[in-house]
Amino acid sequence: MTARIRFRDLLMVLAGVGCLLLKRWFAKSLGDLAFSYVGNLSASFAVYFLVSIAATPKLTRVMIAGIALLVVELFELTDGFGIMTNVYDPFDYLANALGVGLAYCVDAASVCRFRDNGGSP
């Protein structure tokens, strides 16, 4: 993994955390839907890139997405791994999947862009 990709992954983690911290602000303009699901979407997005940072080079993007999805869905299923309190909502599972899917798409698109610009992925 190149330094550019690792830096990009770190920036994406920070973007996910930033969106999580701005959840209440999003809720003011987007309503209850944002308040309920922006946290799941942004945390799942960040988890994908955390897994990507920790992953060995042998893991594919699909494997990284699968691991990230497993982590966030287990978090929901176990009520925050028994550490954090979590309000059960079945649509949280969908929001988690959308967050991981968005991260997968950003990952794939940015790697293609690095290749188009002559950089190495």
pLDDT, tens only, 60-109: 999 999 999 999 999 888 877 777 767 778 899 999 999 999 999 999 99
| Average pLDDT rounded to a whole number, residues 10-29 | 88
Cα–Cα dist 4/120, whole Å: 9
The pLDDT of residue 121 is above 60 = no
Q: What angle do CA 40, 108, 93 make, to 5 degrees?
A: 20
Count each helix (H run) and each strand (E run) in the chain, helices first.
Answer: 5, 0
Q: Which residue has the higher pLDDT, 119 or 13?
A: 13
**Rounded distance between C-alpha atoms, residue 68 and residue 46, angstroms:** 9
Q: How far apart are CA 28 and CA 22, in angstroms?
A: 10
Question: Which residue bears the tokens 């959308």?
Answer: 98
Question: What's the CA gap between 108 and 47, in Å, rounded?
Answer: 16
Which secondary-structure segment (H or E) carries 56? none
Q: Where are the domains of the chain?
A: 3-116
- Closest-CA residue to 70 (of 49, 90, 50, 96): 96
Mean pLDDT of the chain: 86
**Predicted pLDDT at 114:** 63
pTM attached to this predicted model: 0.85
- Which has more pLDDT, 20 or 49? 49
pLDDT at 115: 58
